[in-house]
Amino acid sequence: MRPAILVIDMIHEFVHGRLKSPDAESIVPNIKKILSKAREAGIPIIYLCDKHYPFDHELKIWGEHALYDSPENKIIDELKPGDKDIVLYKRNYSGFRDTGLLNVLHDLGVDTVILTGIHTHICVLHTAWDAFYYGFNIIIVRDVVAAFSRDDHEYALKYMEKIYGAKILGSKEVIDLLEGIQKK
Protein backbone atom coordinates (compact mmCIF):
# COMPACT_ATOMS: atom_id res chain seq x y z
CA MET A 1 0.00 0.00 0.00
CA ARG A 2 1.29 3.47 -0.91
CA PRO A 3 -0.88 5.90 1.01
CA ALA A 4 -1.06 9.68 1.29
CA ILE A 5 -2.83 11.56 4.06
CA LEU A 6 -5.28 14.22 2.87
CA VAL A 7 -6.09 16.98 5.37
CA ILE A 8 -9.26 18.66 4.18
CA ASP A 9 -10.25 22.21 5.15
CA MET A 10 -8.64 22.34 8.60
CA ILE A 11 -8.65 26.11 8.23
CA HIS A 12 -9.98 28.81 10.55
CA GLU A 13 -13.29 29.16 8.71
CA PHE A 14 -14.30 25.54 9.34
CA VAL A 15 -12.79 25.11 12.79
CA HIS A 16 -13.65 28.48 14.41
CA GLY A 17 -15.50 30.50 11.77
CA ARG A 18 -18.82 30.86 10.03
CA LEU A 19 -18.96 27.29 8.72
CA LYS A 20 -17.44 25.50 11.65
CA SER A 21 -18.29 22.00 12.68
CA PRO A 22 -19.14 21.72 16.39
CA ASP A 23 -16.76 18.72 16.55
CA ALA A 24 -13.92 20.38 14.64
CA GLU A 25 -11.74 21.22 17.63
CA SER A 26 -12.13 17.77 19.12
CA ILE A 27 -10.67 16.02 16.04
CA VAL A 28 -7.48 18.12 16.02
CA PRO A 29 -5.41 16.09 18.56
CA ASN A 30 -5.93 12.82 16.66
CA ILE A 31 -5.18 14.43 13.29
CA LYS A 32 -1.97 15.70 14.86
CA LYS A 33 -1.04 12.19 15.97
CA ILE A 34 -1.68 10.78 12.49
CA LEU A 35 0.37 13.54 10.85
CA SER A 36 3.30 13.08 13.17
CA LYS A 37 3.34 9.30 12.53
CA ALA A 38 3.03 9.92 8.77
CA ARG A 39 6.00 12.31 8.81
CA GLU A 40 8.02 9.77 10.76
CA ALA A 41 7.10 7.04 8.25
CA GLY A 42 7.75 9.22 5.19
CA ILE A 43 4.11 9.10 4.10
CA PRO A 44 3.12 12.17 2.05
CA ILE A 45 0.73 14.68 3.62
CA ILE A 46 -1.38 16.89 1.39
CA TYR A 47 -3.48 19.75 2.75
CA LEU A 48 -6.50 20.76 0.69
CA CYS A 49 -7.85 24.15 1.68
CA ASP A 50 -10.77 26.25 0.55
CA LYS A 51 -9.67 29.55 -0.97
CA HIS A 52 -12.53 31.38 -2.63
CA TYR A 53 -13.02 34.34 -4.90
CA PRO A 54 -16.12 36.36 -4.03
CA PHE A 55 -17.77 35.27 -7.31
CA ASP A 56 -17.33 31.51 -6.81
CA HIS A 57 -20.46 29.52 -7.58
CA GLU A 58 -20.44 27.68 -4.25
CA LEU A 59 -20.89 30.96 -2.34
CA LYS A 60 -24.47 31.09 -3.62
CA ILE A 61 -25.19 28.20 -1.26
CA TRP A 62 -22.94 28.99 1.71
CA GLY A 63 -22.35 32.72 1.56
CA GLU A 64 -18.88 34.21 1.79
CA HIS A 65 -16.33 31.92 3.40
CA ALA A 66 -12.59 31.24 3.28
CA LEU A 67 -12.05 34.15 0.94
CA TYR A 68 -8.74 34.51 -0.86
CA ASP A 69 -6.01 35.70 1.50
CA SER A 70 -8.40 36.26 4.41
CA PRO A 71 -7.43 35.05 7.91
CA GLU A 72 -10.27 32.51 7.63
CA ASN A 73 -8.57 30.57 4.88
CA LYS A 74 -5.37 29.96 6.86
CA ILE A 75 -4.61 26.49 8.23
CA ILE A 76 -5.07 26.37 12.01
CA ASP A 77 -1.83 26.77 13.99
CA GLU A 78 -2.08 23.36 15.68
CA LEU A 79 -1.87 21.64 12.29
CA LYS A 80 0.73 23.88 10.68
CA PRO A 81 2.20 22.07 7.65
CA GLY A 82 5.74 20.75 7.85
CA ASP A 83 8.49 21.59 5.33
CA LYS A 84 7.81 18.54 3.18
CA ASP A 85 4.01 18.71 3.30
CA ILE A 86 2.08 19.85 0.25
CA VAL A 87 -0.63 22.52 0.40
CA LEU A 88 -3.16 22.79 -2.43
CA TYR A 89 -6.06 25.23 -2.68
CA LYS A 90 -9.55 24.54 -3.92
CA ARG A 91 -12.63 26.52 -4.94
CA ASN A 92 -14.94 23.51 -4.95
CA TYR A 93 -16.05 20.75 -2.62
CA SER A 94 -13.73 18.16 -4.13
CA GLY A 95 -10.02 18.30 -3.41
CA PHE A 96 -9.42 16.93 -6.92
CA ARG A 97 -11.15 19.64 -8.89
CA ASP A 98 -8.70 22.13 -10.48
CA THR A 99 -6.13 21.68 -7.72
CA GLY A 100 -3.48 19.47 -9.34
CA LEU A 101 -4.06 16.81 -6.67
CA LEU A 102 -4.38 13.99 -9.20
CA ASN A 103 -0.96 14.77 -10.73
CA VAL A 104 0.64 15.03 -7.31
CA LEU A 105 -0.76 11.64 -6.27
CA HIS A 106 0.37 10.04 -9.53
CA ASP A 107 3.85 11.56 -9.27
CA LEU A 108 4.16 10.27 -5.71
CA GLY A 109 3.01 6.80 -6.76
CA VAL A 110 0.11 6.89 -4.30
CA ASP A 111 -2.58 4.20 -4.54
CA THR A 112 -4.53 4.86 -1.33
CA VAL A 113 -5.87 8.10 0.09
CA ILE A 114 -6.50 8.46 3.81
CA LEU A 115 -9.06 11.21 4.40
CA THR A 116 -9.16 13.50 7.44
CA GLY A 117 -10.83 16.87 8.03
CA ILE A 118 -14.12 18.68 7.49
CA HIS A 119 -16.98 18.27 6.58
CA THR A 120 -17.65 14.57 6.42
CA HIS A 121 -20.73 15.00 4.22
CA ILE A 122 -19.43 17.78 1.93
CA CYS A 123 -15.75 18.21 1.03
CA VAL A 124 -14.66 14.85 2.46
CA LEU A 125 -17.46 13.06 0.63
CA HIS A 126 -16.85 14.84 -2.69
CA THR A 127 -13.12 14.21 -2.47
CA ALA A 128 -13.87 10.54 -1.81
CA TRP A 129 -16.19 10.51 -4.82
CA ASP A 130 -13.42 11.68 -7.15
CA ALA A 131 -10.85 9.42 -5.48
CA PHE A 132 -13.15 6.49 -6.23
CA TYR A 133 -13.52 7.38 -9.91
CA TYR A 134 -9.78 7.97 -10.28
CA GLY A 135 -9.19 4.45 -8.97
CA PHE A 136 -7.73 5.11 -5.52
CA ASN A 137 -8.39 2.96 -2.48
CA ILE A 138 -10.07 5.10 0.14
CA ILE A 139 -9.73 5.10 3.91
CA ILE A 140 -11.86 7.48 5.96
CA VAL A 141 -10.68 8.01 9.51
CA ARG A 142 -13.89 7.99 11.51
CA ASP A 143 -12.73 10.05 14.49
CA VAL A 144 -10.82 12.72 12.55
CA VAL A 145 -13.58 13.80 10.19
CA ALA A 146 -16.49 15.96 11.36
CA ALA A 147 -19.69 17.50 10.00
CA PHE A 148 -22.33 20.07 10.98
CA SER A 149 -24.22 17.39 12.88
CA ARG A 150 -23.69 13.82 14.01
CA ASP A 151 -26.45 12.73 11.62
CA ASP A 152 -24.68 14.31 8.64
CA HIS A 153 -21.45 12.66 9.79
CA GLU A 154 -22.89 9.16 10.25
CA TYR A 155 -24.88 9.34 7.04
CA ALA A 156 -21.82 10.34 5.01
CA LEU A 157 -19.62 7.61 6.53
CA LYS A 158 -22.21 4.97 5.63
CA TYR A 159 -22.63 6.45 2.15
CA MET A 160 -18.89 6.44 1.39
CA GLU A 161 -18.53 2.90 2.70
CA LYS A 162 -21.41 1.60 0.64
CA ILE A 163 -21.05 3.62 -2.56
CA TYR A 164 -17.27 4.13 -2.87
CA GLY A 165 -16.12 1.00 -1.00
CA ALA A 166 -14.29 3.24 1.48
CA LYS A 167 -12.77 1.55 4.51
CA ILE A 168 -13.85 3.31 7.70
CA LEU A 169 -11.09 3.04 10.31
CA GLY A 170 -10.29 4.67 13.64
CA SER A 171 -7.21 6.85 14.04
CA LYS A 172 -5.51 4.23 16.21
CA GLU A 173 -5.89 1.63 13.43
CA VAL A 174 -4.49 4.10 10.90
CA ILE A 175 -1.48 4.87 13.10
CA ASP A 176 -0.82 1.11 13.41
CA LEU A 177 -1.11 0.81 9.66
CA LEU A 178 1.42 3.63 9.09
CA GLU A 179 3.68 2.06 11.70
CA GLY A 180 3.58 -1.22 9.74
CA ILE A 181 4.58 0.59 6.53
CA GLN A 182 7.42 2.35 8.37
CA LYS A 183 8.83 -0.96 9.62
CA LYS A 184 8.93 -2.55 6.14
Which residues of the shown chain bind Zn ion in the complex (CB under 5 A)? 50, 58
21 contacts: CB under 8 Å, gap ≥ 6: 14, 15, 118, 119, 146, 147, 148
Nearest approach, Cβ of 68 to Zn ion (angstroms)? 12
Pick 56 or 85: Cβ nearer Zn ion: 56
Nearest approach, Cβ of 83 to Zn ion (angstroms)? 27
User: Is residue 14 within a helix (H) or strand (E), and if so which, with residue range?
Assistant: helix 12-15
Q: Give the number of C-alpha atoms closer than 13 A to the C-alpha of residue 35, restricted to the C-beta side.
A: 25
Nearest approach, Cβ of 49 to Zn ion (angstroms)? 10
The one-letter amino acid code at 179 reads E
Nearest approach, Cβ of 66 to Zn ion (angstroms)? 6
The one-letter amino acid code at 52 reads H
Residues β-bridged to residue 169: 141
How far is residue 28's CA from residue 31's CA, in Å, rounded to a whole number?
5
The closest of 153, 94, 142 to 119, measured between CA atoms, is: 153
What is the number of residues in the chain? Answer: 184
Pick 94 or 116: Cβ nearer Zn ion: 94
Pick 20 or 33: Cβ nearer Zn ion: 20
Pick 49 or 79: Cβ nearer Zn ion: 49
Comparing every residue's Cβ against Zn ion, the nearest one is: 50
Pick 58 or 161: Cβ nearer Zn ion: 58
Q: Let me know: does 90 contact 127? Beta carbons within 8 Å.
A: no
Nearest approach, Cβ of 50 to Zn ion (angstroms)? 4
